[in-house]
Amino acid sequence: MSRWVALLLAIVGGAIAAYTTIVLVAGGLLGVGWLWVFGDDPWPSWAMTGLHLLIPIGGLILWALFGWIIWARLRRHRGSS
């Protein structure tokens, strides 16, 4: 497998894995916050600001982490053959 194909797979695969993870985790946190913490009342601004910061930053960090893991596995696999 070409190095560029492996890089593209790592980028796209990392993005898909990060998106899936952040949607599940953020959805779970929002669900817990809505059911047991804030309810139907208006949420405080600090909670919304925190979510608006943590979701994109967490997604980018997860994208880098998952992409790096996929890249390392593809490099190891390519080097062993």
Per-residue pLDDT tens digits for 41-51? 899 999 999 99
User: 43's torsion region: left (phi>0), alpha (psi -120 to 50) or beta?
Assistant: beta
Domain that holds residue 16: 3-80
End-to-end Cα separation, the chain, in angstroms: 11
Range with the poorest average pLDDT among 13-17, 40-44, 51-55: 40-44
Q: Model pTM?
A: 0.82
Q: How buried is residue 22: exposed, middle or buried, by Cβ count under 10 Å (0-12/13-18/19+)?
A: buried
Number of domains in the chain: 1
pLDDT(81) > 60: no
Which pLDDT score is estimated for 75?
87
Distance CA 67, CA 78 (A): 16
Which pLDDT does position 39 carry in this prediction? 87
